[in-house]
Amino acid sequence: MNGGGLLVAGTTSDAGKSVVTAGICRWLARQGVKVAPFKAQNMSLNSFVTREGAEIGRAQAMQAQACRVEPTALMNPVLLKPGGEQSSQVVLMGRPVGDMTARGYHGGRQQRLLGTVLDCLEQLRGTYDAVICEGAGSPAEINLRRTDIVNMGIARSAGLPVLVVGDIDRGGVFASFFGTVALLSRTDQELVAGFLVNKFRGDVSLLEPGLEMLHGLTGRRTYGVLPFRHGLGIDEEDGLRVSLRGAVRESAVAAPLGEDVLRVAVCAVPLMSNFTDVDALAAEPGVVVRFVDRPEELVDADLVVVPGTRGTVRALDWLRERGLADALRRRAAEGRPVLGICGGYQLLGESVEDDVESRRGRVDGLGILPVRVRFAREKTLTRPVGEALGEPVEGYEIHHGVAEVLGGEVFISDDRGRGLDGCRVGKTWGTHWHGSLESDRFRRAFLRKVAAAAGRRFVPAPDTSFAALREEQLDRLGDLIEQHADTDALWRLIESGAPQGLPFIPPGAPA
């Protein structure tokens, strides 16, 4: 017998679907329910590698952590990684299967993936007591409904009840709730059980008359009003938009242990991917992290991070156009710390030969590290473990570029001192490993090196645990659901489906 399920949809993108899904997952896990997350199709440049070597969205990996289970490709069978304004790399069951334009994807490919998506959901529901699914964008995107496999398409095919989340902090939440339902077909409307208000500030009693009127207009109840809380964002999905939300990032306001703070500037390169790598830096008391796009903003930085990108060659052009390339070269020549991660590491090298992403062939890099990069058709997807700066370190690799290191020092090695990854010259480091800074002892050792090179009297906190901060964050999400949602009613939805006899709200979806 299949387990229960629920689809968390939203009135808009960024309404809080990922956070609410994670919160429901953590609440259920704390009740002893065996629960798993699911997102049929995700568009994100922030991704993660599962233990079996599959690439999925980082939000789903964090939701799996909220469930206290190991993430798998079943939880995010389709991942779209933008490569520009018009095309994305399609990752199916954790492996890239090619690039496609939005028109080509929505013109037929997407609908053909519905069977795969439903098979994955069926497997999860056969294994877990409950599967909490996350939608994408809005279910009322009437131009895309015919080929939808992530919102009402999956809800109708799998018979899932739907909870619609609205961000009241943006305004217009009542109109958004009503309009979302009213633009769905009769059959789709039958699955929309009700609403959840997110990010409310103030006295809930002042909101209640509106919720009662909404119930009268739609026949659907509100399952909870979640208060606005700072720092509740889990890993961002959209790498095209720079945001410093999140409890881990906000912890940068904590006072330093030493006499100085440490200033970290992150170059906001185009198609920035896995910029969540810097969360672990911002987790340290006294480390101030900011994203920058001008050379003068590097001047007072103690460390400059060049993060991952889905477009290494495009990022090189951008750095040169803005004068950041020269600023990075000056920093390196002056012995001031620079860290390149994945694509950021590649562009610090001598050359990039790219016939895969940009198809520009050989392009000169910044020439800071003695590394030549050649893009391979097959993508490297691994979860390596090693040692750096005398401390254990682990991470995950997601890249087409293969680095040939021609000099310098090895950055990360195995327990016998043999090179595993990366390169170091002076105070410039490069590595393909995402997530390495989440290794607490390595991060502290690295920050001590940076502080010494920068002449800062900064001292890393001896007890900062990135994993513990993540758990705290997920527990706060679980607390929100437990304290501010009708959890008995939510469980009935998950177990029994949408209530019968929900009224049709005209006009419904256009023919």
- Which residue numbers are catalytic? 342, 434
d(CA 79, CA 94): 8
d(CA 192, CA 10): 11
Q: Where are the alpha helices (DSSP H) in 57-172?
A: 58-67, 102-104, 110-112, 114-127, 152-158
- Contact between 255 and 286 (Cβ < 8 Å): yes
- Contact between 218 and 181 (Cβ < 8 Å): yes
Backbone angles phi, psi at 473, to 5 degrees: -60, -45
The set of residues, in sequence order, having a beta carbon less than 8 Å from that of 209 and lying 6+ positions away, is none
How deeply is 147 buried, as exposed, middle or buried, from its count of CB atoms within 10 A (0-12, 13-18, 19+)?
A: middle
d(CA 138, CA 16): 12
CA torsion 490-491-493-497 (nearest 10°) is: 170
Candidates 188, 126, 133; CA nearest to 156 is: 188
| Long-range own/partner contacts, residues 473-476 (CB < 8 A, 24 or more apart) | 473/231, 473/232, 473/234, 473/246, 473/247, 473/248, 474/22, 474/26, 474/62, 474/65, 474/66, 474/234, 475/26, 476/229, 476/232, 476/247
Residue entry with tokens 């469980």: 491
Candidates 9, 317, 396, 339; CA nearest to 177 is: 9
The set of residues, in sequence order, having a beta carbon less than 8 Å from that of 106 and lying 6+ positions away, is 144, 147
- In DSSP notation, 92-119 reads ETTEEEEEEEHHHIIIIIHHHTHHHHHH
The set of residues, in sequence order, having a beta carbon less than 8 Å from that of 177 and lying 6+ positions away, is 11, 164, 166, 195, 214, 218
Kindly state the tokens that stand for 219: 């026949």
Opening angle at CA 444, ends 262 and 302, nearest 5: 25
Kindly state the tokens that stand for 504: 């049709």
Kindly state the tokens that stand for 340: 């390149």
d(CA 242, CA 261): 23
Query: What is the residue type of 132?
Result: I
- Contact between 302 and 264 (Cβ < 8 Å): yes
